[in-house]
Amino acid sequence: MNKITKRLSPIALFLTCAFSQSALADVKVNIDLSKAEHHYAKVKMALPASTQASIDLKLPTWRTGRYEILNLANGIREFNVKDSDLTWQKIDKDTWRISGDLSDGVDVSYQVYANQLGYRTRHVDDSHAFLDASGVVMYTDESRDDKHVIQLKVPKKWRSVSGLKKGRNKHQFIAADYDLLIDSPIETGINDFYKFDVDGRDYELVIWGKGNYDAEQMVEDLEKIVSQGDTIWSDFPFDRYVFMVHATSGARGATEHINSTIIQRDRYTFAERKDYLSFLGTAAHEFVHTWNVKQYRPEGLVPYDYQGENYSNLLWLSEGSTSYLQNQLLMRGDIMTSKEWLDHLARRINSYLRKPGRDSQSVAEASFDKWISEGGDYHKNHSVNIYSEGFLVSWMLDFDILEKTGLKQSYRNVHDILYKEFSIPKTFNDQDVRNILKRVTGEDYQAWWAENIDGHAKPSFDKLLAKAGLEISYGKTDKTKAWSGIATKADTNGLKITSVEKGSPAWRAGLTTDDIIVAVDGLRMKDKDLTKRLSNFKPKQKVTFTFFRRDQLVTKTVKLGELPAGKLKVQPMADASEAQKAFYQAWTGLAFPEK
């Protein structure tokens, strides 16, 4: 490991030579970040000659890794074409048409307002800039395949890092085409920077922002994660990979890229074990994406259409299977213990059991509808999630394969075949996946697919867990607790209902979101947590809820239901057989956790 402590020297003069290096690239992009305090970037582009009467310069409507239409062109102002003989007109929200004699090429410039940190598209301030080309650099259909040279003009002492190849100076990067550029973000600014290598491949870690992280420990654990890639895939599709971390406030999430990832976390969520393990899980998730999505993608996603939705009913495999496989890297890298894994599994099982939407939407439907998916009460009651339910069906597949092949094959083998035989520019569909499953197990998966992917999966967790010598427990007590099905948040006047579980006691009684509970059983609601108040009642007891709805006072009676009083846990069986223990080890790579 080698920490870089020396700050990079500034570019004294703006390198106009970047626009005369015709041997390096067909498209030259100059991004001026020298006045970053107001979130502005000034972009100049030199486009190659064209024989067309006009060209359409476009900014994408979404970015890779986030299946949602974004309003990226809203930050573009001061668009201008240098040649006065050329005319231009904006023809829709993110397209500028340039007309005239284009035989000498086209020089354009525009301002970008970059203050979308949480979207992980573009953010510029006086300490750094994060630039995802989807929100910064335009393209034409003709220039999409051209080489791009990106030259940055940055304040003194800024360091620039990207998965892209470096150009002639420390702030210049080269992409073979626009698709590589858009999948290779740039982080530049005041940051901490680390290098390490594992098995002959180079890795970098760049951290922007202060927080309670231990960078040396992060590097040590990232080394463990990346060393486990070959436990799933037959080889690595890169020679160099960059982990970008934002330790900040108000932005959370992560995005995979072809040669890097960007991970955003609250600056004080690194020190405690559960928080740090969450960070490592995210890093492992994005690393898995280096293969799953960046090397092999379903039909509908190749090539990317940057101006519209890219539909697929297999996003559960792209995202949910990635969530599942990330834990394989953590466990096989001796980062996640069996106890931590079983706790993680218990939370997923409990979440699924408390999600009525599992009976309304399949994972295939959720995949196709990801572009219009929203959270909230309706989503929980009528939808599933490509991540969580995608994880679940991936687990079911893994166990089915392990069982059918006598522990010789697993779901990991399926993904290695996808990588070896369906890498871009090829794509795969449902039938391709079923064919692979049949190759691996010798059995047909048409009926299984219809039931669990196109239909509503109804797993028997007791039977699943028993295969690996595990069982569900609610602790030492068999007691139950009162349950209403309501989730709330504190409001000035009481407790505002944020969700009501479909089919629950409160649902049947007619309570709904945005009702503001002011009294329970005739007594003013003073607790900030409804669960605490309901602990005073017993299951099946009738309780009156008094609440405001549209500013009118309403009272309804709820017959409380019941849930186990203890917390759902997944634990090893006391009498697990040697076969069950072997199954557990083949599944996780860990020794069976004796009770």
CATH at 497: 2.30.42.10
Q: Give domain status of residue 579, yes or no.
A: yes
Q: What is the pLDDT of residue 7?
A: 37
Please enumerate, as own/partner, the contacts of 77-83 that have beta carbons within 8 Å and a separation of 24 or more: 77/110, 77/111, 77/113, 78/109, 78/110, 78/111, 79/108, 79/109, 79/110, 80/108, 80/109, 80/110, 81/106, 81/107, 81/108, 82/106, 82/107, 82/108, 82/109, 83/107
Q: Are 38 and 166 in a shared domain?
A: yes
Q: Give domain status of residue 309, yes or no.
A: no
Range of the domain at 501: 480-564
Contacts of 160 (CB under 8 A, 6+ apart): 8, 152, 154, 170, 171, 173, 186, 187, 188
Q: Are 152 and 220 in a shared domain?
A: no
Instruction: Report the CATH number at residue 144.
Output: 2.60.40.3650
In sequence order, what E strands does 341-423 have?
none
Q: Are 465 and 486 in a shared domain?
A: no
User: In sequence order, what are the beta bridge partners of 28?
Assistant: 46, 149
Cβ 175 vs Cβ 270: under 8 Å: no
Q: Are 36 and 146 in a shared domain?
A: yes
Q: What is the pLDDT of residue 22?
A: 41
Q: Are 38 and 161 in a shared domain?
A: yes
- pTM (predicted TM-score): 0.92
Question: What are residue 533's phi and psi, to 5 degrees?
Answer: -65, -40
Q: Are 330 and 405 in a shared domain?
A: yes
Q: Give domain status of residue 302, yes or no.
A: no
Neighbours of 567 (CB within 10 A): 12
Q: Give domain status of residue 207, yes or no.
A: yes
Q: Give domain status of residue 97, yes or no.
A: yes
pLDDT tens, position by position, for the chain (595 residues)? Answer: 444 433 333 333 344 444 443 444 489 999 999 989 999 999 999 999 999 999 999 999 999 999 999 999 999 999 999 998 999 999 999 999 999 999 999 999 999 999 999 999 999 999 999 999 999 999 999 999 999 999 999 999 999 999 999 999 999 999 999 999 999 999 999 999 999 999 999 999 999 999 999 999 999 999 999 999 999 999 999 999 999 999 999 889 999 999 999 999 999 999 999 999 999 999 999 999 999 999 999 999 999 999 999 999 999 999 999 999 999 999 999 999 999 999 999 999 999 999 999 999 999 999 999 999 988 999 999 999 999 999 999 999 999 999 999 999 999 999 999 999 999 999 999 999 999 999 999 999 999 999 999 999 999 999 999 999 999 999 877 789 999 999 999 998 899 999 999 999 999 999 999 999 999 999 998 878 898 899 999 999 999 999 999 999 999 999 999 999 999 999 999 999 999 999 999 999 999 998 7
Total count of domains within the chain: 4
Q: Give domain status of residue 440, yes or no.
A: yes
Q: What is the pLDDT of residue 162?
A: 98
Q: Are 467 and 327 in a shared domain?
A: yes
Q: Give domain status of residue 486, yes or no.
A: yes
| Domain closes at, from 206, 240, 272 | 272
Q: Give domain status of residue 294, yes or no.
A: no
Q: Are 147 and 217 in a shared domain?
A: no
Q: Are 463 and 323 in a shared domain?
A: yes
> What whole-number distance in Å separates Cα of residue 319 and Cα of residue 313?
12
Neighbours of 493 (CB within 10 A): 12
> What whole-number distance in Å separates Cα of residue 29 and Cα of residue 139?
11
DSSP label at residue 563: E
DSSP label at residue 319: I
DSSP label at residue 59: -
Neighbours of 540 (CB within 10 A): 12
Q: Are 44 and 155 in a shared domain?
A: yes
Contacts of 433 (CB under 8 A, 6+ apart): 314, 317, 414, 418
> What whole-number distance in Å separates Cα of residue 357 and Cα of residue 365?
12
Query: Which DSSP helix (H) or strand (E) runs through 218?
Result: helix 215-226
Q: Are 318 and 458 in a shared domain?
A: yes
Instruction: Report the CATH number at residue 361.
Output: 1.10.390.10
Instruction: Report the CATH number at residue 241.
Output: 3.30.2010.30
Displacement of CA 38 from its chain's centroid (Å):
29
Report residue 547 as tokens: 């609440």
Q: Are 464 and 352 in a shared domain?
A: yes
